[in-house]
Structure 1
């Protein structure tokens, strides 16, 4: 079973605080089979920045089919991250309440019955179009596509930015959990990090995916 929506929202609401105040390296091995897969751990081990390692781990847990929120809470308590637990269990208000009217980041919504749609090339050829070409590298970074692979794609397709964007998504699709829900969570993460995406156009594309 995936993490319950309300628990996933707790993690998202307090993400910035949480990733600054624990080190998943201390117990990531205990999350294998509880939201993490061995390839996920390999990715985390290659990440040198603790903050980004923590962020990636939490994203994996939120998107996993077999993560358990209570397991995460128990591990945090066991490793004396009591303040992180208190933050998570405090509800959804603190960060959300501090957002000024009109300053919230637009979010991309995927209906629950579409989150598990496995994406084909036919889907991907439409899903890159709302992304601003000028933010290509930042977007690819948010998707987890290494810069060296982006550079190789640019070299092989130097005359077509559309092809470059499409190939970046093809590269992303090599991961095991290439579903619409996972990709749109990464698009939301991209928007949060300043990538320009036409969310209205993207929402129209999502609505037409069957």
Structure 2
């Protein structure tokens, strides 16, 4: 799972304060596979200004759709290399004004009954599940699903006049990129919840109605 919204929020909120107070080159290689890829490290190595390097590294870690990033790994490495003040700043949470703002707005969560979590997503279900997502947030939603922008652009070119078809095909693209056991209702709704945490508009009432009408007993074994 990507870094949780609240933890990514702490990094964003304190970014300007902390990037001046550590050197990511101390442990960037230990982040490979845990939020960084080897090409990311190559880009970081080309940057000569430390605080810019630090900022870019953190932006990679909190990038939506980064499935391998882990906030606790970052905290543990900062502690290991004695960046105590940076850890204290991050662990202090959101600044008061941002915490107040977050407290005033709660994002509804999509609940999936336990006996439906492992339901395999057929074409029929994906067509239905794409409809409650706001078309205006299409690109952001696709990003949180892990669907590359270039694939979205191909989908848009194939069906320029039908946004319903575009949304449906984005879900097909997501399913086709997943190991078959992960193409389940529970896994997809975790992606939807993460999308909503990050501002994607989804009609949860309509979505829960769709989930309610999906029959029990559609699980696949592998």
By the TM > 0.5 criterion, same fold? yes
SS in 1 for 2:62: helix
- Tell me, yes or no, if structure 1 residue 202 matches structure 2 residue 195: no
Shift of 1:161: 1.9
1:185 aligns with 2:190: yes
Count of residue pairs brought into register by the alignment: 191
TM-score with structure 1 length normalisation?
0.63
With over 3 angstroms needed to count, the CA separation of the structure-2 counterparts of 1:71 and 1:156, relative to structure 1, is: closer
Gaps of 5+ in 2: 45-55, 217-222
Contact 1:124 1:170 (C-alpha < 8 Å) held by counterparts = yes
Q: How does 1:123-162 map to 2 (within 5 A)?
A: 123-162=125-164
- What TM-score results when the alignment is normalised by the length of structure 2? 0.61
From 175, 178, 183, the equivalent of 2:178 is 175
Unmatched runs of 5 consecutive residues or more in structure 1: none
| 1:60 is aligned to 2:64 | no
CA distance in 1, matches of 2:39, 2:206: 32
Q: Are 1:29 and 2:32 matched, yes or no?
A: yes
Q: CA RMSD in A?
A: 4.4
Change beyond 3 A, Cα 1:80–1:204: farther
Q: Structure 1 residue 17: deviation in Å?
A: 1.3
Q: Which moved more, 1:45-54 or 1:142-151?
A: 45-54
Bigger Cα Rg: 2
Q: For 2:86 and 2:199, how far apart are their aligned partners in 1?
A: 26
